[in-house]
Each structure stands twice: as C-alpha cells, then as structure tokens.
Amino acid sequence: MTNRVSSEYLVNKYRCSFFREMHMSLEAGFDALKQGRYQEAVRLLKQYCHCSDARAKTT
C-alpha cells in the first residue's frame, strides 16, 4: 500500500509541475507578445503548444 501511495503522490506531483510549467510558458509568451518581442513570443508559445500536445497524447 505504501508503494501505491508513493506512486500516486509522484504522479500528482508531476502533473502539478507539468501544468505549472505550461501556464508559465503561456503567460511568458503572451507577455513577450504584448511587449513586441515577437521571436521570443513564438518560441514560448511553441513550447506551450508542444507541452499541451504531449499532455493530450498521454491522457
């Protein structure tokens, strides 16, 4: 039972980290876009899309 709890904890911790990283990438991309840093915005938003696409494939 302890191993199961540990596994569930790690999965949930990973999911929280994953969503936090996605959100930060999206926010940073929008900020860069608003500030006229278009190349950086494209890079960050592509990173966000890649993360969300990877997440969709695992569920």
- How many C-beta atoms surround the C-beta of residue 26 within 10 A? 17
Looking at residue 1, what is its pLDDT?
A: 45
Q: What is the pLDDT of residue 34?
A: 96
Per-residue pLDDT of 9-55, as tens digits, reads 666 666 667 677 777 888 899 999 999 999 999 998 888 887 666 65
Position 22 scores a pLDDT of: 73
Cβ atoms of 26 and 45 within 8 Å: the answer is yes
What is the reported pTM? 0.57
pLDDT value at residue 26: 86
**Domain ranges across the chain:** 2-58
Q: Which helix (H) or strand (E) holds 11?
A: helix 2-34
